[in-house]
Amino acid sequence: METLTIAQLGNPILREHATPLSAAQYQEFAPFFNALQLKMLENNGVGIAAPQVSESIRAFIVASRPNPRYPDAPMMEPTLMLNPEITWASESMEKDWEGCLSIPGIRALVNRHSHIEVRYDTLEGKEVKTQMEGFIARIFQHELDHLNGLVFLDRAE
Ligand SMILES: O=C(O)C[C@@H](Cc1ccccc1)[C@H](O)SCc1ccccc1
Ligand SMILES: [Zn+2]
C-alpha cells in the first residue's frame, strides 16, 4: 500500500458517511490499521479516523496520552475500534479545546457529552461495551464525527 496521506478540510471524503465493515473484512484490513496507527503516531495525534486517510470505512483509533494541551489526559494503549457506536450519552456537556489532523493550525472550543457508553468490535471480532468520560470520551466523539462526515468546526462554539 502506498504511504497514507491525511485528507485536508475541503476534501469531499471527509464529508461522507463511512461504510460499516463486515466481520469477514476485519483481518483483511489489518495491514491498513497498522499503517493508520503509524500515521497517527507520526503526527502526534491522540486519535485518527480511517476517512482521514481517504478510506471511508467505520473504523478509528483512540490513543489518549498526556500532551502539552492536556497534561493530565489518561495514558491509554492506542485502541482500534471497528463499527463504533455511542449507545448512551449524558445530558451534561463539557466545553474544551480540540484540534484535528485534517485542519492543521486551528483549535476551537467544542461542546461534548461528559460521559458516554459505547460499543465497538475489536480486530478479532469481539464486541466491547464500555463507558468513557473526560478527554477519552471527547476523542471518541471527535472520531465518530469523522465517520459521519462531521468535523469539530461544525460544532465549534
Ligand atoms: O484529527 C483527529 O481526529 C485527531 C485529533 C484528535 C483530537 C480529539 C479531541 C481533542 C483533540 C484532538 C488529533 O489528535 S489533533 C492533535 C492534538 C493532540 C492532542 C491535543 C490536541 C490536538
Ligand atoms: Zn479530526
- Grid cell listed for 151: 468535523
Active site residue 117: no
For residues 65 and 1, give the distance between their C-alpha atoms in angstroms, rounded to a whole number: 28
Which of 48, 98, 144 has most ligand 1 atoms within 8 Å of CB, for mutation?
98
Residues 142 and 99 sit within 8 Å (Cβ to Cβ) = no
Residues near ligand 1 with C-beta < 6 Å? Answer: 45-49, 67, 69-70, 98-102, 138-139, 142-143, 146
DSSP symbol at 26: H
H/E stretch holding 130 reads: strand 127-133
Provide the pLDDT for residue 67: 86
ipTM of the complex: 0.91
Which residues have C-beta under 5 Å from ligand 2, the single-atom ion?
A: 100
Q: With contact defined as beta carbons under 8 Å apart, do 151 and 89 qualify? A: no
Q: What residues in the chain have per-residue pLDDT under 50?
A: none
pLDDT of residue 88: 98
Which pLDDT belongs to residue 135?
96
Cα separation, 23 vs 98, in Å, equals 32
Cell numbers found for residue 5: 496521506
* pLDDT tens by residue, 124-150: 999 999 999 999 999 999 999 999 999
* Nearest alpha-carbon partner for 20 in 48, 60, 47, 52: 60
pLDDT value, residue 2:
63
Residue 124 confidence (pLDDT): 96
Sort 150 into a burial class: Cβ within 10 Å, 0-12 / 13-18 / 19+: middle
CA distances (Å), origin 31, targets 3, 34, 36, 118? 12, 5, 9, 25
Question: What value, to the nearest 5°, has the Cα angle with vertex 133 and ends 155 and 95?
Answer: 35
Pairing of strands 93-98, 79-89: unpaired
pLDDT of residue 142: 98
